[in-house]
Each structure stands twice: as structure tokens, then as C-alpha cells.
Chains A and B, each alone.
Chain A
Amino acid sequence: MNIQHQMQAYSLCRRTFLADAGMGFTGLALGALLQEDGYSAEPVKSQVPAKATSVIWIFLAGGVSHLESFDIKPALDKYAGKTFDQTPFKDFLDQEKREKNLMGSGMSVPPRKELMALNTGYRKYGECGLEVGDWFSHIGECADDLAVVRSLWTVHPNHGMQLTWHTGMHVRDGAQPTIGSWVSYGLGSLNQQLPKFIAMGKSIGGCCGGEFGHGAAYLGPQYAGVKISTDLKNPLQFVKPYGTGVTAEEQAAELDLIGQLNRATGVEYPDDPDLRARIRSYELSAGMQIAVPELMRLDQETTHTQELYGIDQEHSREFGTQCLVARRMVEKGVRFVQLYHGAGSAGTWDAHSDIKKRYNKEAPKVDKPIAGLLKDLKQRGLLDSTLVVFGTEFGRTPGAQGTGRDHHPQGFTCWLAGGGIKGGITHGATDELGFYAVENPHYVTDIHATVLHQMGLDAQHLAVPGRKRIDIHRGQTINEIVE
């Protein structure tokens, strides 16, 4: 271990120590706040050179069909209507093979024996010629910016996987630090008026992790995602004073009084970290009262920009708003923005029946907004420093479940863009039917490790004493997609 590495490890160690000791002592829990406040000696340094400063983490709940989005399988049209036994892929449904990586009892999904044709058209996009399903044609236009990872696999064939996608651990392990909370924990703030980690959209359902999806578990609540609603009227809990008639001037006067009184009380408690943190928290809260509603001022955006995100259309307005607000957050230095789509109970992308009808309805809600986000980030020069991740909990079966497709954890897809990720490439592959991840398989936490790596953090060294995570929970950087 070289000296520099040791130093970095030391500084992180100190940091984790500060947070951990805080379980008993309020003052020391404030590692980050203090450090940002200039009270702590060492700033938290990047462990590895950072390529990105912010992440926008998009999560589509329910399990998006990889087969009809970013891992198109023409073979499905060829074999449509046939059973696996009638194709060269007889052994695919072998129970042991299918369930090899699944965890726990009652965890399997019945084999879907009859292959189903693609439910949407597709075509090639960009110089790279990425094939994308028509449901995601707008995102297709950004093909040359995407690194599509087609070889994900996971252990959980049910929607508890929504939590796993965020924590890297099984839903029965309950609350664990999420990817966003690690970023928030590991890195300093870029904006004193806003939290580092913000989540938007409906949280995942109680079945599948609920609020844990953007929680911080043992890292401490200060690192959890702050839920901000795009309900422009009430984006943050308690952001406005109760009742009517309280003016901003009056609030400012009170905050000033509180500051004065707090400072006056410190005589007997010199250098009290709690007191300083509280003073600071009131300052930040005052900032948030202004900064958060300011984020929602979409009237500051041009009509053209709003259209780019699909805000002018009913079906894409809600998610378009989230995407646009996410960009505004990134501009203000928010480190990690998590966008949920279709979450709550199993998730709207869970197409057990009538997949065509369902995706015809769901895809237009997100396709243009996400494409708009990528294009807008790019034209503003923000894509270089902003890493966008498009993910879901698993794929869907090549075999038909009536008019739909079932859960499919053995092989599925996500993509990354910006933030030092290579554009216009695909990495890893499933077999001809999109069943198994056969080339460069990646467990879902490899995406976490890659994101952390781009943010300048080393997943292998992010840990809190006494809370060991084993290798598979940390994952490994996918070097092939990193610039």
C-alpha cells in the first residue's frame, strides 16, 4: 500500500470513526457538517481521481423488459410461439440452472415455456448503431452517449429486488446504506443551502423496501436521501410556517435572534460541536427554505427546454418535471439525485399481462424526459461531470406469461451515461434469447462500484467499523466502460 493510499484510507477511517462514534454522542456524529463548516481538520479527499461530481440515478420500478428496450433479441421473433424444447435452447429451463443464483425458499418463478415475439419494433441509432426498442426511441437518439451493460444478474426474482438494486443486499437484510447514502457519506457538499442526496418521485412500495430505498441505515440519517416532492406547492416537509401571516422578514429576525441567543449561551461550553452544528443547521434550513422552492421555479426555464423534457405533454409532465428539477439540482451542486418512476406496490413496469398496452402507456411517460435530460445536460456541458444511470430491478422472461412476461433475474440490462463513462458502447451480453448473462456477467453491485469509482470513491474501502460488507455487497468497478 503506497503512502498516498494509506493517507486516504486514514482520512476516511477518521471520517468513519467520527460518524460511528456518533451513535452515542451527538457532537461527533457531525463529521460531515463540521468538516464542511471548516471545523474539522481534514477534508474528505477522493480516494481515486473523480470524473463526476454528481449522479442522477433513475430507477424504473417493476422490472423493465430488457428484451424490448436495450437488449433487442430478434431470435424471439424467429422462435415465437415455439416452446424451448422446439428450439436449440432446450436446456435453458433446467431448474437447477435457472435457480442456481436465487436465494431462499419459494423464490423461483415458474418456467415460461413458450417464447414470445417482441412486442415493439426497434431500429439502430447513432454512429454506434445501438439497437433500441421503439418504446425508447427518444433515448435511442442519445445512443452515442450511452454505455449499455447487458449482462446483469441478480439473486432475487421478486420485487424485493428493488431494495437490492439500491443497497446491494437482500431485502431481508432490511435497511442498509444505499448507493446515494454512500456518496453523501463519502463526499463533501458543494452547496451549503441544499442537501447532498435528494430523492424524488413515489418511494418504492412497503413490500420492497419502502423508504429504505433512499435510506442510509447505519451511516446515520444525515446521509439519507432527503425526500423532496415535485409537488411545487410542498416540496419539503415543514418548509413553510404553519398558518398565515408570517413574513420572511419576521422569520429572518427570529433566526437572527436564535443565532444571537445560541452564541450567548455558549460561554460555558466553548467549542461545543453540538452547538455549532445546531447553529449551522438553522443556517442551512434557512437556505433550504429559499433554495428548495427556488429549484421548483420551472418558469425560469424556456419553453424550448420545457418541451425538451416533455413537460408540455400530459403524459410526460410529471417525470419530465422531475428530470428537469434534477438537472437544476445538479447545477446547484447536489451530489446524488434519485428519481423513482412507477414505484409503489410492485411497480408499473411489472408487465405480467398485456405488456404491449402497459408499455405503450408507461414508456412515453419517461422516454422523452430522460432523453431530454441527457440532451440538456450535454448542451450545457454538464454531462461530462454528471453521471446518469438508468436502472430497474430485473428483466423479463423471453417466454410468454399469457400476454405478458414474467420476472427475469438471470440476465438484464441497465445503462450509464456521462461522468466519464464511455459513450456508444455495449458491454457484456446475454445469450441469443436474452435469457442468461453469458458474457462478462455482472452482479448489480458492480454498477454501484462503478458509480462510486467515477465519483472518486473506492467501494472496497468504503466501510464503517463493525459493519463489514462482503465482496459481493461492494461490487467491482466495470473498467471496460470507464473512460
Chain B
Amino acid sequence: MMPIQIRMILWLGFLVVCTTPASVFAVDEIDYVRDVKPILKTHCFRCHGPLKVESGLRLDTKSLALTGGESGPALVPGNSDASNLVQRITGDDDSRMPPEGERLGDKEIKTLKKWIAAGADSPANEKVEDPRSHWSYQPILRPEPPTVGDGEWSRNPIDAFIARKQQESQVVPRPLASRHVLLRRVYLDLIGLPPTRAQLRAFLDDKSSGAYERAVNSLLASSHYGERWGRRWLDVWRYSDWYGFQNQVRFSQKNIWHWRDWVVESLNADKGYDRMVMEMLAGDEIVPFDPRNLRATGFLVRNRNTDSREQWIRDTIEHTAKAFLGLTMACAQCHDHPYDPIWHEEYYRYRNIFEPVQVGIDSGGGGPTGEDLAGVARIYDRNRNAVTKFYIRGNDRTPDEKRKITPGVPQVFFEWTEPESVQLPPKARIPHLREPVYKQTIARMEYDVRQSEQAVLAAEKYLAATKQRLAKSSTDHSTPAADTFVIEPFQEMRGDVWKQGRGKWDYSNGHLAQTLVNEQRDCYLEAVRQPPAKFTLRLRLRITGGTEGLVGVLFNRSKDGSRGEAVLLSVNKEKPGLRFFFEYGDERHFYDKYDRELPITTGEEFVLRVDVRDKLVNVYLNDLLQQAYEVTSGDSGDLRLLAIDASAEFYHLRIDSLPDDVPMVPARTIPLFAPFAQLDKSHPSHMSLAGAVIEQSQLQFEVNKAQLASYQATWAADSWKLLNAPPKEDDNATKSHKTRLDELALVAQVAQRQLTLAQSKEARFKADHELKVATAQSEVGKKGDEKEVEKLVKALEGAKKKVASTTKQVETAEQALKDPPMPKYQGLSDNYGSSSGRRLALARWVSDTRNPLTARVAANHIWLRHFGRALVGTVFDFGLNGSKPSHPNLLDWLAYELMHPSLVLESNGADVRWVEGQPATRPWSMKHLHRLIVTSRAYRTASTPDEKNLAADPDNHWLWRMPPQRMDAETVRDSVLAVAETLDKTRGGPALPSFDGMSVPRRSLYFHMSPEKQMAFLKLFDGADPTECYHRHVSIVPHQALALFNSQLAVAQSRVLTRRMSQQFSDTNTFIQAAFEQVLSRPITEKEFKICRDFLTAREEVYRENGDPASVTSQAIKVDQPSIDPRLHARENLVHSLFNHHDFVTIK
């Protein structure tokens, strides 16, 4: 068996992302710097280095090792076995080193021994390296841009830094990109959409100076800028819509799209980066009751993981540190950070900041029914005193109970200001005091009142209809007038009635049988015609086998199958009876709460009756009412006979329209009708049920009215008390405030007592009926076995007790109302309490201009997205294990300029340059940085290669050219729509279903995005991984070709565009040129023109020969088919091909 060791190694698995391989090769000559020091660094420096000097020993230079610590020198040059170091790393007792984690490998030990044995040589000038002196931990100063002469590289400090490096590295920058290339580049970069043909032409025609800068300004002012860069930041900030198990939210949260909208709006408003970070971390503590602000905390909400609170907090720690600080904090979870000066305990201190958090949704004044779309998913401190435990070796099973953890940040950077608890104002503590929430609640309650009023009317109507029917039935036994939709005796296949779907359907022996079982998918027969919207259906059938054993009808099914409702008979041994489900999108949800468990078995014959009117469904089995419920959608649709892993025989089906005067049992009356099971055959029992339904609905009506009144009275008292309190020192005002409060409190108390009475009456009514059910069941069950009888007797006793207790409650409530009222009432609930202020302290520390990491990390992310390559390659790791900046001074200059903008763009005739001045932008303005970058010479460089440069700098390290990039996923999709001029520019709102992505022309960032539901098209083009995406991968795979070649998006949009353009450009030559300009935003070359011209000629020929009509004047053709006109058809092929051109998806 693998020993404990393994477990420990596995725990160290957390380390994996942080550790680098110690590349150890057997070499003859041992070199201290190359071979020895890295080993010591990996295994020893953490405790015996500049940051921690355990036992007085340091091993970070050879001379320090020789000096040694409490146990004497670590080395005896020339004698490895006598060296303390070797003894410790090879020992087996408690003194072996390192004390935790993997021991040194054999090769490593060999290397060290060999080095010592050979005399332990080292360079004489070895210096102490202190990780605290790492470049990114130093304060950000403003480096002076180098002087690079007076040329075109001198007009923007960015260029000075770039040009200096190029000069040093002897690469020669490529010339300026041509203007059309540049315009497309900057459009796609800043707004994620290519220029239209008109925009392109206008720009090319504008030869005046500053034309480019003006274009940049208008792009930055466009609201599309926020969408483009919002999506980019959402990569870094891990945007994900909710996901989980079926419709259960387990990760992230519903309504988190409010945060996405906040990001877009904040960017468009050029809110400072510092402010954005602060609001994301602590929006609820900064401006606690402003829902617009609360949206920002979606950043933290996104980490929610209901499966594991541990994982939730771990993700929060890891990703706040990676996103804002470029720190790999997660490494310090099990031990001190192996590279960076972050202690094991600091990890837990940092964790303590987030320990209190919880996720909530503040209702937000949306509509009274359905999802509360306006509700904001937000973070709050649930327990401001939450304690963090220090986990020994990061194992949550071994917490160190003694160690007390206080909130903190890594000490190495700069001190933070200790958190102070934040007293939340009443409006923040109690969302109901906020106007929209109050309004929303009132609206919902008023809706409930109206609903229950309607229910009373429906119940009365039910009674009236029943009476009428009763009167009529004494003389006339026919059913009310109805249109027969179908009578199907299942004698033979009738193609005019049924379309056969999956399954094995046969007509024989005078019935229809379905015999395919053990199929995971449904077997079905679909009615050719759509049944009436309101119908009554009677199906005589027998289930003969199958494991799931579910057979029934699917109705209200939409054409695309994305919606439908089903009633099923089940002979499944685990759940026999009636079952119900609805379908939404590609998911199926059973209404478990409506299940009717009935002792039915294989081989029995049943008559299933389903009455459907609007959303109301009544289900009968052998004429006994079994269920009355409301479906999710009342929209009518197609009908199917359905068999789910079941074989069945069908004998008769009849569907009639359901006249409005046929009584239907209202929904949610389940406990009521059980005693009246023989409903359909006995009109008197119908009467009796109707009476009960009326009583119940009236009681419900009373409850709802009392609820509204009570809420209003409580709200009035609370808001007077909490929002209108006068200053304490004003005695008079305090007195009159109290008088008014007492009045309101009296009203509130009476209203609350009335509510209690109404509720207890309703409870008593329910108890009465449950007793009736229990009595009836115990009558029937007397014949059953002993256990069963015992159970029924118990249930009966319980029901009796409940009647007694509810009766008592009613009496108490009645008495209370007789008592004189007092100014005491139950206030609105205090949802949020006070906040610990820990996150606010963190937010201030992160966004402080003294923080050496924040601005550098942000500037690097921005640079990466403009140039397709970052200045620091490891964008989320600026620590000692991260990569070094290619242009350290440039990065610092950008970071400084981000925090303290100091340049303005000056235009003096043809000379456009950045000079010192007072920019109109605020500190931390991202638009300022974008403007600086995209107007730089470096950004405007051509992307064409050059042999000499390629040889000198193949990776384009020194930016001698603009790296050509493939559009990211969203840009591909959005550009297709933009080019076709069909893009719906509506901004914001709830996430759209991802399966609509090929047909709904909204921008890509508005579609549902989560690990489970990501639009296939976007995924294929390397769309962001919603779990982590600091840097997008880019691939070129055949699936992308298929997606752009065959998808509805590409095919339909190219046809739309062709047909529209053809109306404008009937001349073929002009059309070809215009198509190039429209799709690729560039002029066509002669060679390309010839290829296209030949193609069109050849295609037209083919289509004509194939017998297509010579010309078609009417264009009433759908986009799912090519045009009939050969000329148009050929043009569609051309435009579609241009969408698949390398130059379409490439940003040059």
C-alpha cells in the first residue's frame, strides 16, 4: 500500500502551478551558480534565506553557509559526509531537511555532495539576493522617456521607449501600416467591429491632419467601446453566468449579468480603474444602498460555489490576487510561497478578509411575476466576525485551532490601513426601505391579491358551471358543444393524422403498438395538425413493458422543440402513477411536486384524460380526477404521443376542443379533491368540491389582502422610525417623532394581528381537509396489512391534532384582536446587518497609488490586448517566478501615466504629438491610456514581415512590426453581423440563450456564458474559458473553418448582404470591389479582382446550365436557400467566401 507520504505529495499538488522543474542533468563539472544554487533555492531558501533565518542559518550565499547557524557551519569544503547540510538532507530522523514536503532527489543530493567534495567552489563576488528587491515590488516611479531624436518616434513617449530598445537590438521597425489596414485594426481593437464601407471611404478620403486621431476619439466615445473592452476585462475578471445541476444554481448566480452591464457602463463613462476595482471588491461597503454600485460586486459573486465553501473562498483568494495584483497567492495555501515573500500565515490573513462573505439577490423593482430580472446579485458580509482557521499544510482536515488569524495583506508591499467595521445605514441593512424594493414588493403583493381574487371568481365560476351542468344532466346527458379535432381508433397508419418519429410503431390486431425499448431517447408519434389551444383529450392505452415505463402525451410543443409540456402514465416500479414535466431549451424538468403516486402496473388498461385550458391542466385517470396544475407556458403547440423507454398499446384517442363553459378544477387545490375522488361521475360531489374550493380561495384572498395591509403598515412605521429620526439633541422633534411613531406602530400591530388571524384560519381549513383525507384513507385502508393500517391510524391521529392546534391558533388570534392594541410591532427584517470593512480596507490598499503591483498589472493587461502580446508574459504572475518585462521602463511609465495622467495630444498642422499638460481625464483613466497607445507609432506599424528582422528577432520581441492577430471569438461573430449590417445594437440586459447565437443578431457578450452553456460557435473560436482566462489561447483548427463555412450565421448573413448590395451595385465589377471593401475593409488588388471575376462568370454559367431561370425579378426567397437568380447565387458564393477569407478573421 502507498503510505502517508503519497497523501502528502498529493496535497502538494496544489503547488503544481507554482513550481518549476529543477532541471538536473548529470554533468561532470559541477558549477555552483548553474547547478548548486538552484537546488538550494528550491529547497532551502524559504527558511534559510533573507526572509526567514531559521536556527540562525542562511544558505543564500556560500559564505553565509560557511558561517553557519546554531548547529555550526553547514559546509565542510572537501568533505561532504562531514557537512551538516548533507547529513540533514540525507537523514531519516526528525532532523531531516526539508522538514515538510518532498525530500531532495537522488540526483540533487549527488550534485551537492560532489560540489562539496570538490571543495565547494563559488564565485568570489556572490551577492545576497533579497526577494523583496524584486522589480515589481518597488514603488512605481516615472521613468524619463529616452531621447530618440526628432523623428516620428519622438512624438509619443511610448515610442521613445520602444525605439530605444529597437536601436539597441538592431531591428528596424516596419513602415507605417497603410491607412485602410490601420483603420480596420483600430476599429476592431477599440469597438470590436470593423469599419463599414462608408466609414472606410470617408477615412481614406480625409487627407487632413489629425484624421486618425479624430477617428480614435470617436471610437473611444462610442458605446461599443465599453462592450469591446468590457468583454476583455470580463475575461480577466472571470465572468460566468450561473451554472449548476439542471436548473439548480450551484456556481455564480442568476442576474449576474448586471455586473457585466456595470462593467460596460463604467468603461464607457471612463470610470477610473482604481474606482472600478474598489467597487468590485467592496461596492456594498462604499455606497451601500445604491444598486447601481452593488452590481460591481458581481466580481465576487461569481466565485460562489454551493458545492464547497472551501473552494469558493479559495477561488476568491486566488483570483483577486491574480487579477489585480499579479500574485499567485494560492501557492501559499500549504506552506510559505516558494518564490515570493508571502508567508503561509499571510494566505490565511488574506483569506480572513473574505471569510464573512455571502451572496444575495436584492429584489429590484422588476415585474410582479416570474424572475426578478432587476434584482441585483450582490455580495455582503453575513457574519462580520467570521473566524479563519489556519490549515496545517493547507489541509482543511487539520486546522490549527490555537492560531488566531486576523485580516491582513502580504507585508512585503506596504502597510494597509486596518479595517474598521462599516455601519450600514438602514436602507442598506433593510432593502425593503429602498423605494424600488418596496414598490416591487407591493406590486407582487397586489398581484397576489388580484390573483387570489381571480381564484375566487374562478371558483365561483366552477360552482356555477357545475350547478348548470347538474341541472342540465337531469334532462340531457350529452357533453357541452365541442368541435372534434380527431377520433383515432388506431386501426391503420393515417399519414394525414400522424408523422412517425423515433420508435417502432406498428398497427396490428386493431391497435397501435410501440415496441422499441431501452432507448435513452423518446419514442414518439406526432400529430400532423396542431390541436386546438383549449382541448380535452381521452387516450385509452396499456403499458406493456420497458424499464422507465413512461407513456403519455406531450403538448404545447413549440416547432423547434425548445418548449413543451407532458403528462405521463408511469409503471416504473420506483415511481408508479402520474408524472409531469416541461421542456425548456434542451433541458427537461419534472414537476416533482405534482407527482401522483398510484399503484398501477404493466398490462393494465387505462383511460387517460387531459383537459387543457390556457395554463390550467386537469388530469383524470379512469375518470377520477388526479391532478389540477398550471403549466409553465400556456402557449399552444404540437402534440405527440410519447413513450420513454416503454412499450405500449394504444386503443383509442379522441381530442375535442374544450368549451369555456366546461368546468375545470382550479390549480393548487390538491388536498381538496382527494376526498372527492369520484368526481366526474358524481355531480353532487363536484358541488361539494366547488364549495370547498370557494372557501379555500376566499381564505387565501383574505390572507393576501392582510399581507399587503400588514406590509404597508409595517413599512410606514419602519421608514418613519428609521429614515425620519430627528437629531437626538432636538427634544421637541424627538417627542413629536415618537408620537407619530406610536400611531403608526398601533396601526402596524393591528394589521399584523389581522394577518395572523387570516393565516391561522387558512391553516385550520387545510387541517380540516387533511383530516378528511386521512379519514377517507383509513376507511379504505382497513383491509391492508398491519403496518399499513398502523401508518394510517397514526396519520389520522396527526391530522386530528393538527385540527386541534390550528383551531387554538384561530382562537388566540381572535382574542389578540380583541385586546387593546399596543404600539409594538414586528419590524421589517434586517437582511444585511453591519459589514466588517475588511474588503473595503483591501480595496483601498489595492487601489492605492503606492501599491506597486496594481497599476503595472492593469497597464500590462491593456497593452496585451492592444498588441496581442504582453510586456510581462505571465500576466497573472508578476512575482519572482513570473517572466521579466520586455520593456520595464515602458511598463512603469504606462503604469505611472495611468495613475497620474500628465500628457495631452497637441496638433500643430501636420505635427501631432503628446506634450506635458493638463489632460481632461481623471486619474486612472483607461481611455487616456488607450488613446496614448493607439496613437503611438509602434501601434501604427505595418504587420508585414521582414527577413532581416525575422532573423534577428523571430519572436518580434522588440515590436518591429505589429503582430498580426486572429480575431477573438466574439469579434468574429460580431463582425459577420456588422458587415452584413444586421447587428442589433441594443445594449445590456439579461443573458440571451446561448443556443440562439446563430440567429439572434445581438452582440456576443450578451449571450449566456458559463462552462456548461457556452455558444458552440464562440467556443470553437477559442472563446474565453469562463473558469479562468487571463490570456486567451488562439488556435487554428478545422472546426473553425466548418463553423464559418456552414453555420447559419455565415450562410444567412452572406446572403442578406449579397442581396442588399446587389440592389445597390448591379454592375459586376463595382459589386466585386464593393464586396471587398464591405467584408474585408480594404481595396481589392488586380489579381484578386480577376480571380473573383472569373469565379462569378464560372458560377453563373454552372447555375444557368443547371436550369436556373435566367433572371428572377421577385426576391421572395428565404435566407435558408440560395437565390434562384444565377447571378445573385454566384454573388452569394463570392461574399460567403470572403467571410471565410484569411483576411476576414485576421487583424493585420
A281 touches B1038 (CB 8 A): yes
Give the contacting residue for B868; candidates A24, A250, A251, A268; CB below 8 A. A24
Q: Is A206 an interface residue (CB 8 A)?
A: yes
B1036 touches A285 (CB 8 A): no
Closest Cβ–Cβ distance, residue B397 to chain A (whole Å): 5
On chain A, the residues within 8 Å of B1033 by CB distance are 22-23, 29, 220-221
Closest Cβ–Cβ distance, residue A270 to chain B (whole Å): 7
Q: Is A304 an interface residue (CB 8 A)?
A: no
On chain A, the residues within 8 Å of B1038 by CB distance are 195, 281-282, 284-285, 287-288
Give the contacting residue for B1046; candidates A240, A264, A437; CB below 8 A. A240
Q: Is A33 an interface residue (CB 8 A)?
A: yes
The CA-CA distance from A441 to B1 in the complex, in Å, is 6
Write the chain B residue with the least CB distance to A260. Answer: B1091
B1121 touches A243 (CB 8 A): yes
A221 touches B1120 (CB 8 A): no
Give the contacting residue for B244; candidates A155, A206, A264; CB below 8 A. A206
On chain A, the residues within 8 Å of B1092 by CB distance are 257, 261
A105 touches B397 (CB 8 A): yes
Give the contacting residue for A105; candidates B310, B966, B1040, B1121; CB below 8 A. B310
On chain A, the residues within 8 Å of B1043 by CB distance are 237-238
On chain B, the residues within 8 Å of A21 by CB distance are 955
Q: Is A361 an interface residue (CB 8 A)?
A: yes
Q: Is A403 an interface residue (CB 8 A)?
A: no
Closest Cβ–Cβ distance, residue B842 to chain A (whole Å): 25
Write the chain B residue with the least CB distance to A410. Answer: B1
The B-contacting residues of A in range 203-224, CB under 8 angstroms, are: 206-207, 210-211, 220-222
B1122 touches A246 (CB 8 A): yes
On chain B, the residues within 8 Å of A249 by CB distance are 1102
On chain B, the residues within 8 Å of A467 by CB distance are 16-17
Q: In the complex where A172-B311, A221-B1022, A237-B1039 touch, is A265 in contact with B1142 (Cβ < 8 A)?
A: yes
Give the contacting residue for A264; candidates B17, B998, B1091, B1136; CB below 8 A. B1091
The B-contacting residues of A in range 430-483, CB under 8 angstroms, are: 436-438, 441, 443, 463, 466-473
Interface centre among A195, A237, A287, A289 (most CB of B within 10 A): A237
Q: In the complex where A237-B1043, A470-B12 touch, is A282 in contact with B1140 (Cβ < 8 A)?
A: yes
The CA-CA distance from A25 to B1022 in the complex, in Å, is 13
The CA-CA distance from A466 to B18 in the complex, in Å, is 8
On chain B, the residues within 8 Å of A438 by CB distance are 1
Write the chain B residue with the least CB distance to A206. Answer: B1012
Q: Is A75 an interface residue (CB 8 A)?
A: no
The A-contacting residues of B in range 1033-1047, CB under 8 angstroms, are: 1033-1043, 1045-1047
The CA-CA distance from A25 to B869 in the complex, in Å, is 8
Interface locus among A82-90, A271-279, A392-400: A271-279
Question: How many residues on B have C-beta within 8 angstroms of the other chain's C-beta atoms?
Answer: 96
Give the contacting residue for B1099; candidates A236, A253, A275; CB below 8 A. A253
The CA-CA distance from A1 to B24 in the complex, in Å, is 11
On chain B, the residues within 8 Å of A173 by CB distance are 13, 16
B520 touches A318 (CB 8 A): yes
B870 touches A274 (CB 8 A): no
B518 touches A314 (CB 8 A): yes
The CA-CA distance from A447 to B1041 in the complex, in Å, is 36
A443 touches B2 (CB 8 A): yes
Q: Is A365 an interface residue (CB 8 A)?
A: yes
Q: Is B698 an interface residue (CB 8 A)?
A: no
On chain B, the residues within 8 Å of A275 by CB distance are 1142
Closest Cβ–Cβ distance, residue A164 to chain B (whole Å): 11
The CA-CA distance from A119 to B1091 in the complex, in Å, is 72
B1047 touches A242 (CB 8 A): yes
The CA-CA distance from A443 to B12 in the complex, in Å, is 16
A264 touches B1085 (CB 8 A): yes
Give the contacting residue for B13; candidates A22, A25, A237, A470; CB below 8 A. A470
The CA-CA distance from A153 to B966 in the complex, in Å, is 45
A258 touches B1137 (CB 8 A): yes
Write the chain A residue with the least CB distance to B12. Answer: A470
A264 touches B2 (CB 8 A): no
Closest Cβ–Cβ distance, residue A23 to chain B (whole Å): 6
Closest Cβ–Cβ distance, residue B222 to chain A (whole Å): 27
1/0 per residue, CB under 8 A from B, across A70-107: the answer is 00000000000000000000000000000011011100
1/0 per residue, CB under 8 A from A, across B461-482: the answer is 0000000000000000000000
On chain A, the residues within 8 Å of B1045 by CB distance are 238, 241, 251, 254-255, 282, 285
Write the chain B residue with the least CB distance to A215. Answer: B1025
On chain A, the residues within 8 Å of B1046 by CB distance are 238-242
A105 touches B396 (CB 8 A): yes
On chain B, the residues within 8 Å of A236 by CB distance are 1042
Write the chain A residue with the least CB distance to B1117. Answer: A245
Q: Is B118 an interface residue (CB 8 A)?
A: no
On chain A, the residues within 8 Å of B1088 by CB distance are 261, 264-265
Q: Is A40 an interface residue (CB 8 A)?
A: no
Q: Is B547 an interface residue (CB 8 A)?
A: yes
The A-contacting residues of B in range 384-404, CB under 8 angstroms, are: 396-397
Give the contacting residue for A257; candidates B1042, B1118, B1134; CB below 8 A. B1134
Q: Is A303 an interface residue (CB 8 A)?
A: no
Closest Cβ–Cβ distance, residue A40 to chain B (whole Å): 14
A281 touches B1036 (CB 8 A): yes
The CA-CA distance from A26 to B17 in the complex, in Å, is 23
B13 touches A242 (CB 8 A): no
Closest Cβ–Cβ distance, residue B311 to chain A (whole Å): 6
Write the chain A residue with the least CB distance to B16. Answer: A468
Give the contacting residue for B1146; candidates A251, A261, A274, A281; CB below 8 A. A274
Q: Is A175 an interface residue (CB 8 A)?
A: yes
Q: Is A402 an interface residue (CB 8 A)?
A: no
The A-contacting residues of B in range 934-982, CB under 8 angstroms, are: 944-945, 955, 963-966
Q: Is A64 an interface residue (CB 8 A)?
A: no
A24 touches B1040 (CB 8 A): no
Q: In the complex where A153-B2, A284-B1038, A314-B519 touch, is A170 in contact with B13 (Cβ < 8 A)?
A: yes
Write the chain B residue with the least CB distance to A212. Answer: B1011
B1037 touches A221 (CB 8 A): yes
A245 touches B1121 (CB 8 A): yes
A265 touches B1091 (CB 8 A): no
The CA-CA distance from A100 to B19 in the complex, in Å, is 26
The B-contacting residues of A in range 304-339, CB under 8 angstroms, are: 314-315, 318
B9 touches A471 (CB 8 A): yes
Write the chain B residue with the least CB distance to A202. Answer: B520
Q: In the complex where A101-B6, A288-B1038, A361-B547 touch, is A269 in contact with B945 (Cβ < 8 A)?
A: yes
A24 touches B869 (CB 8 A): yes
Q: List 25 A-B contacts (CB under 8 A).
A: A1-B25, A1-B26, A25-B963, A175-B1027, A206-B1011, A211-B1011, A220-B1033, A222-B1036, A242-B998, A243-B1051, A243-B1121, A244-B1120, A250-B1122, A254-B1137, A261-B1141, A265-B1142, A265-B1143, A274-B966, A274-B1036, A274-B1142, A278-B1142, A282-B1041, A284-B1038, A288-B1042, A314-B518
**3 smallest beta-carbon distances between A and B, as pairs:** A243-B1120, A285-B1041, A285-B1038
A residues with CB within 8 A of B: 1, 21-26, 29-30, 33, 100-101, 103-105, 153, 155, 169-170, 172-175, 195, 206-207, 210-211, 220-222, 226, 236-246, 249-251, 253-255, 257-258, 260-262, 264-265, 268-272, 274-275, 277-279, 281-282, 284-285, 287-289, 314-315, 318, 345, 361, 365, 436-438, 441, 443, 463, 466-473
